[in-house]
């Protein structure tokens, strides 16, 4: 399948980046086509709610920032993987902006499945991120293939790598 991973931590060698990379390696090893985008180091602004996309823009976003690189990738993606650190009980701002900029597409046209990778310091801090993820998937009619979380003592471990491998196997 054609998989797009959005990595939303500003820490290039951090735990979210590690989880995203493990997912990429496992998916490529099983024959999938994977694009991993480090959205935290892109210039992507929030949606302006100008409604240009639903009017004169005919589906195009008026903001000409790095989101323009993502739109063709989203249009081709069959699987979307959201990889994010937990900041204040939800996904980081760096990944919220590109998610909310999908507003112009309504739903990425070929998307069938999704997965989520979350990293945090503490346990039991995932409800906000998971609630948002499930809400979006229900809205789009996209299947959830699973969620892997890693709190401080679960980061960069063989056990977390095995959970990510299982997630890829469930595609
Ligand atoms: C601004 C900020 C807010 C955070 N908020 C939370 C939080 O609410 N709960 C939590 O468990 N960890 C929180 N953390 C810790 C990160 O989620 C944790 O260190 C995570 O593993 C970072 O992922 P990374 O290594 O990919 O950057 C926060 C970190 C930052 C920088």
Task: Please report the atom of ligand 1 found closest to the CA of residue 18.
Answer: 26
What is the pLDDT at residue 83?
Answer: 99
Report the percent of the chain where pLDDT is more than 90. 100
Can you list the domains of the chain with their CATH numbers? Answer: 2-169 (3.40.50.360)
What is the pLDDT at residue 161?
Answer: 98
Summarize pLDDT for 118-147 with one digit per residue, the tens. 999 999 999 999 999 999 999 999 999 999
Task: Give bridge partners of residue 136 from the DSSP assignment.
Answer: none
Task: Please report the atom of ligand 1 found closest to the CA of residue 17.
Answer: 26
pTM of the shown model: 0.98
Ligand 1 center from residue 160 Cα (angstroms): 17
Ligand 1 center from residue 125 Cα (angstroms): 10
146 lines ligand 1 (CB under 6 A): no
Once rounded to an integer, what is the mean pLDDT over residues 76-95? Answer: 98
Summarize pLDDT for 23-73 with one digit per residue, the tens. 999 999 999 999 999 999 999 999 999 999 999 999 999 999 999 999 999
């Amino acid at each position: 399948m054609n998989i797009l991973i959005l990595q939303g931590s500003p820490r290039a060698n951090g735990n979210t980046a590690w989880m995203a990379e493990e997912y990429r390696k496992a998916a490529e090893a099983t024959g999938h086509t994977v694009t991993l985008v480090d959205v935290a180091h892109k210039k992507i602004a929030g949606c302006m709610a100008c409604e240009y996309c639903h009017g004169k823009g005919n589906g195009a976003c008026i903001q000409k920032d790095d989101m323009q690189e993502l739109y063709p990738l989203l249009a081709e993606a069959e699987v979307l993987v959201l990889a994010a650190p937990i900041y204040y009980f939800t996904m980081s701002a760096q990944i919220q902006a590109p998610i909310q900029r999908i507003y112009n597409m309504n739903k990425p046209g070929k998307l069938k499945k999704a997965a989520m990778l979350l990293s945090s310091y503490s346990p039991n801090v995932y409800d906000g991120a998971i609630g948002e993820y499930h809400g979006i998937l229900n809205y789009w009619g996209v299947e959830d293939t699973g969620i892997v979380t890693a709190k401080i003592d679960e980061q960069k471990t063989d056990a977390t790598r095995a959970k990510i491998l299982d997630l890829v196997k469930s595609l």
